[in-house]
Each structure stands twice: as C-alpha cells, then as structure tokens.
Structure 1
Amino acid sequence: MVEKKVLLITGAGRGMGVDIAKAALAAGYAVVATGRRPEAVARAVGAAEDLLTVRLDVTDPASAQAAVRAAVDRFGRIDVLVNNAANFIAGFFEEITPDDFRAQIETNLFGPLNVTRAVLPVMRAQRSGLVVTISSTAGIVGGEFTSAYAASKFGLEGWMESLTPEIAPYGVHTMLVDPGFFRTDLLTPESTSYAQPSIDDYIERTKQTVTAWNGMNGRQGGDSAKLATALIQLVGSDEPPLRWAAGADAVAAFEDKGRTLIKQADAYRELSSSLAHDDAS
C-alpha cells in the first residue's frame, strides 16, 4: 500500500510508453508498467521503489483482469489508467486481409476496452479515477494507406466520448490524447507491418509510401519525452482536458478538421434542413 497516486500504463516496454512511465515516476506516482514481456518492461523503465512490472496482453481479457488484481494487491488502488499499447498495420484497404484488419481493431480498439473494463470497477469503488487513452491524429483525420489504423483510432474516439458521461457521476473521468508525428517506435518493424502487395494498381504507390515512411522513421519532429512530461502535468491538473492535441501538427489537424466539418455542414445546409416531416411542429 502507498499513499502516492497509482498510474497503470499499457505498452510500457518501449517507445512512448517508457517515457510516460518514467515521467510518472519522476512526478511522484507509483507506477504499474505493463507489457507482454515484463522483463523487457523492467529493463526499459529501470528500477524504482514504487514500480511494479506486470505481464499484460491487452487482447486477452483474463490477462487484463490479472494485471489489475496485481496492481491493487501491491498498491491498493489505481488512480490513472493510460491505454497506450498499440501497433500499426499499414497498406491500401484492398490489400489488407480481413484477418489483419480485424487484428488491428483487436489490438488498438478492443485492447483498451479490455483493460478499461477491468479497471473501472476499481475506480468506481474509489469514486475517483482518470482513464487516458492514446489515440492519434489518425483518429481525427483519415488518410490513404492507414485505413485499418484510422478505423481503430476513430473507434477509440467514439468509445471514449460515449464513455465519458457514463462514468462521470462516479468521479471517474476520461482524456483522449491525439499525438501527431513523434519520434517513437511506431514505424519500426516491431510495431508496423505492411500489407503484402497483390494488386498492380497499388504497387508503385506502396513503394513510394513505404520508402517515404522509412525515411521519416527516427526523424519525426515530436519529442516523446516532452509529450510524456506534458501528459503527466495534465493528468495531475484539477480538470484534465477531454481531448488533447499533442504536437503542433496535431493542433493543425484539429483546426483543419474543424474547418472541413463546418464547410461540409454549410455546403447543403438548405437541403439538409428540409428533411423533417411536414407535420413536425
């Protein structure tokens, strides 16, 4: 048992998850750092008195329940959940197999659902807590070569928006994080897999896209350590935002999407507004 606030994070073995775990420890949190290989998590995060490393496969509901039990057994509570674990299956829609598309949704959408479902009873009993889910600007704006990934992230956005009013009466709140391009492991072979080229029409565009992304890997403008520090600052604030644009490019994406939606609403405003029953009051 500790008096510190307790933060549980998924996908803490590498990339942004490591930075968030370290930032939380530095800010005085007790941290439950989880991943499929807890020994790798321990090596990545480093030793700390108030650190517990636990095995967690987010696609396995039983694994999520076990991780939550381990966290409560060690620290007595969970104050913040950070749904961070994710991967990236890239390619043109017609070339992504149905199984791979489902696997993308299973990890990036159902994974956070599984972990949150395990954590919420603890938070409701406490009458306090914060569920943070790392989404992406791909959950705000779709783009070619990202249909499966964007579908999973758009799903996160709708689920979290809907979850917010359900759990707010019990003192439990939510926060969506939409990062732009950060120098993480997302574009490495460990996190990204590409659809096998099979359609002539897409072959050249696939080559160009993969080459461009490989060239971008390790050169993204965002600093994930700074994101982690800022995130922990927001998590500890009196009123964490419901949605946070992480990075200047994310702010621009929010603004562009907002303008686009307004433009689309205006484009057929008269027609759109003429669809009521004639007897409507």
Structure 2
Amino acid sequence: MAPLICMITGCTSGFGEAFVHDALSRGDKVIATGRKSETRLVHLKEAGASILELDVTASPAELDAKVKEAIAIYGHIDVLVNNAGYVQTGLIEATTQEKLMEQLDVNLFGPINMTKALLPHLRERKTGTIIFIGSLFSWYGRPNVGPYAISKHALAGFAETLNLEVSQFGIKVLHFDVGHFRTPVLAQAKSRVALKDIDDYAPMINVIAAISPSMHENQPGDPRLGIARMVDMIKGEGMAEGKEIPWRVPIGTDAVEIIKERCEETLRLIEQWKEFSRSTDFPGPKQGFWAEEEKKKASLAKQ
C-alpha cells in the first residue's frame, strides 16, 4: 500500500500524539494539528510530521481555509482523524448551558465542521477515510458524565448517517467506541468540573469523588496498542488484514464488555415488550415505501 497522508486533530497529547507516532512508524505522512502548534507540537515536527495550528472550534470558514492549507502540504489528504476532544464532567442539573455548549463545540461540532470542510476534496478524489474517536459512553451513561456522554451519543449518530451518505463516493467512515485508556484525559477533566451547590446530590457526588482518584493512571487500556488496532483497521493490515471492516467497532476490553451487555439488555427488553410496542400501527398491511421495506427485510431473513 502506498503511504497515506493523514490529517489528525488534537495532537498535543494522548491518542492524537500516539496516532502521529504510529502512522509515521508505518511510513505514512502526517499533518499533526493542534492549538499553539509551534510550542505544543514541535516534538512531533522533530519526529517527522508536518504541523499546523488549528482549533476545531473555529468558524466553518476558518476551518475550510485550514483544510485547504493542509491539502497544499502534500497535495492531497487520504485520512482525517477527528481526535480532538475533552471530558466535561458535571451533573445535568448543575451544568450550565455555557459549559454544555463548550463540550459540544469541541466534541461534536468540531468533527462535523472538519469533516464538511474535507468532504469536497474526498468526493472529488472518490476515495478517503474519515475517523471518529467515539466512546463507550455513546452506549451508556454514568452520573456526572452527562455533557461528555451527550456529545459522544450525538457524534455516533452523525458518523452513522455520514457513512450511509458518502460510501457511494468510495469514502469510508470508521467510528471507534473507545474504552478507558491510560491517557491524560481524566487528569485534564479535573479542571473542567462544572458544579453548583445542590445539597440533594451531595451523597452521589461524595461517592464519585471517592472513586475518581483511583481511576486515573489505572485505566486498563494501553494507548499505543489501542491506536495500533485503529490504524490496523484504517490500513487493513496487522490484526485487521483480510477482514471486512465495519463502520463501527469497540476498542478496549471494557468497551467490548459494556457494549455487549447493553446489546443483550436491549434484546431482552425488546422481547419482553414487543407486543406492547407493536400495538400502535394502523390495521391492515403496510403500504408504499413501508411495504417495500417489509419485503426487503423478509428477503434478507431468508438469506
């Protein structure tokens, strides 16, 4: 395979930095982006990456210009890795609208606008791959992680819809539901807690506060191995060689276990409530579009 040209957001630490090193080690070319690039990305430039200052919360017009600047570096881009993000903690009732929007601007609208800026280039070339770093929190929620979970649930919906729209142009979409990996993300989240004094939640917050210190730097996932598996899928090599690549896959043992449990729970729920849920249609056979959909489902079931 010819070397890929990869544009990666959020490269100042964590997964972004690991992505850069893994791609370079495989002979690919990398455009590493982040804020304050000349100071925070200089080590990646020394490692062989091109660097570009970029804030994913910039306006769509500014991002369009940045993507054009990135394309000019090597002449084209094969892979966009939407990695930039952070964890905004806080109880739903206690999180301000301002803090919630800040979370969505980085974790959701940033990837959306970066993707839209690059899509015309990928459509013209009829090839390319768009990566989304999702989270197991797009499958379930936990107290005090609402803003982050909201952003990741929405990102998964965007990625699925995008995949259905752009696969016709030879563009691949990959969404990784990432578990807990030993990156700085939890340490960085400490400075982003958005709480007001609501006494009723004190017992819950006390439990969370007691657990939180033992989580950071004890996460089960090795970032280097997690990134290696993701790049295997992007390139169709290593542990992904010869396999049909799905648009969405969990990364990490805890992600596999939690998502499997959630799927099994959902199947049990559907089975228990299916007659209740099915009791809401108009009488008689389905018509028009809906009839055709029923035929397709019946045909697939026979295969």
How far off its partner does 1:46 sit? 4.8
Higher helix share: 2
Q: Which shifted more, 174-183 or 31-40?
A: 31-40
Unaligned runs of 5+ in 1: none
Which residue identity does 1:83 align to in structure 2? Answer: N
Pick closer, same or farther for the CA change 1:62–1:256 going to 2, 3 Å. Answer: same
Q: 2:52 is matched with which residue?
A: 54
Q: Aligned match of 2:279 in 274, 277, 280?
A: 274
Q: Secondary structure at the match of 1:130?
A: strand
- The structure 1 segments of at least 4 consecutive aligned residues displaced by more than 6 Å after TM superposition are none
User: Deviations along 1:116-168, whole A, 9 cap, x unmatched?
Assistant: 01111111111000101000000111221111111100001111101111101
Within 5 Å, give how 1:91-170 maps onto structure 2.
91-170=90-169
Pick closer, same or farther for the CA change 1:205–1:23 going to 2, 3 Å. Answer: same
Which residue identity does 1:256 align to in structure 2? Answer: E
Q: Give the number of equivalent residue pairs.
A: 278
Instruction: Give the % identical residues.
Output: 31
Question: Contact 1:234/1:241 (CA < 8 Å) preserved in 2?
Answer: no
Pick closer, same or farther for the CA change 1:135–1:192 going to 2, 3 Å. Answer: farther
Q: 1:250 is matched with which residue?
A: 255
Return the alpha-carbon distance in structure 2 between the equivalents of residues 191 and 54 of structure 1.
28
Within 5 Å, give how 1:1-16 maps onto structure 2.
4-16=3-15
Q: 1:173 is matched with which residue?
A: 172
How far off its partner does 1:190 sit? 6.2
Question: Contact 1:197/1:206 (CA < 8 Å) preserved in 2?
Answer: no
Return the alpha-carbon distance in structure 2 between the equivalents of residues 192 and 267 of structure 1.
43
TM value normalised by structure 1? 0.93
Return the alpha-carbon distance in structure 1 between the equivalents of residues 283 and 139 of structure 2.
36
Pick closer, same or farther for the CA change 1:263–1:44 going to 2, 3 Å. Answer: farther
TM value normalised by structure 2? 0.87
Question: Contact 2:83/2:132 (CA < 8 Å) preserved in 1?
Answer: yes
How far off its partner does 1:196 sit? 2.2
Within 5 Å, give how 1:30-49 maps onto structure 2.
30-49=29-48
Pick closer, same or farther for the CA change 1:240–1:40 going to 2, 3 Å. Answer: farther
Q: 1:236 is matched with which residue?
A: 235
User: Deviations along 1:158-195, whole A, 9 cap, x unmatched?
Assistant: 11101111101111010001111100111113675111
Q: Secondary structure at the match of 2:250?
A: strand
Unaligned runs of 5+ in 2: 237-241, 287-303
Question: Contact 1:64/1:115 (CA < 8 Å) preserved in 2?
Answer: yes
Return the alpha-carbon distance in structure 1 between the equivalents of residues 31 and 251 of structure 2.
23
Which residue identity does 1:245 align to in structure 2? Answer: P
- Name which structure has the greater RCO, CA cutoff 8 Å, separation 6+: 1
Question: Contact 1:7/1:82 (CA < 8 Å) preserved in 2?
Answer: yes
Is 1:198 the equivalent of 2:197?
yes
Which residue identity does 1:177 align to in structure 2? Answer: F
Q: Secondary structure at the match of 2:158?
A: helix
Pick closer, same or farther for the CA change 1:248–1:53 going to 2, 3 Å. Answer: same
Pick closer, same or farther for the CA change 1:208–1:223 going to 2, 3 Å. Answer: same
How far off its partner does 1:208 sit? 2.8
Within 5 Å, give how 1:16-35 maps onto structure 2.
16-35=15-34
How far off its partner does 1:203 sit? 2.4
How far off its partner does 1:64 sit? 2.1
How far off its partner does 1:6 sit? 0.3
User: Deviations along 1:198-234, whole A, 9 cap, x unmatched?
Assistant: 1001123223313422221111111101111111111
Question: Contact 1:4/1:28 (CA < 8 Å) preserved in 2?
Answer: yes
Question: Contact 2:34/2:41 (CA < 8 Å) preserved in 1?
Answer: no
Question: Contact 1:56/1:63 (CA < 8 Å) preserved in 2?
Answer: no
Which residue identity does 2:246 align to in structure 1? Answer: P
User: Deviations along 1:46-89, whole A, 9 cap, x unmatched?
Assistant: 5144x211111111123422321122111111111110000111
Pick closer, same or farther for the CA change 1:112–1:173 going to 2, 3 Å. Answer: same
* Aligned-residue CA RMSD (Å): 1.7
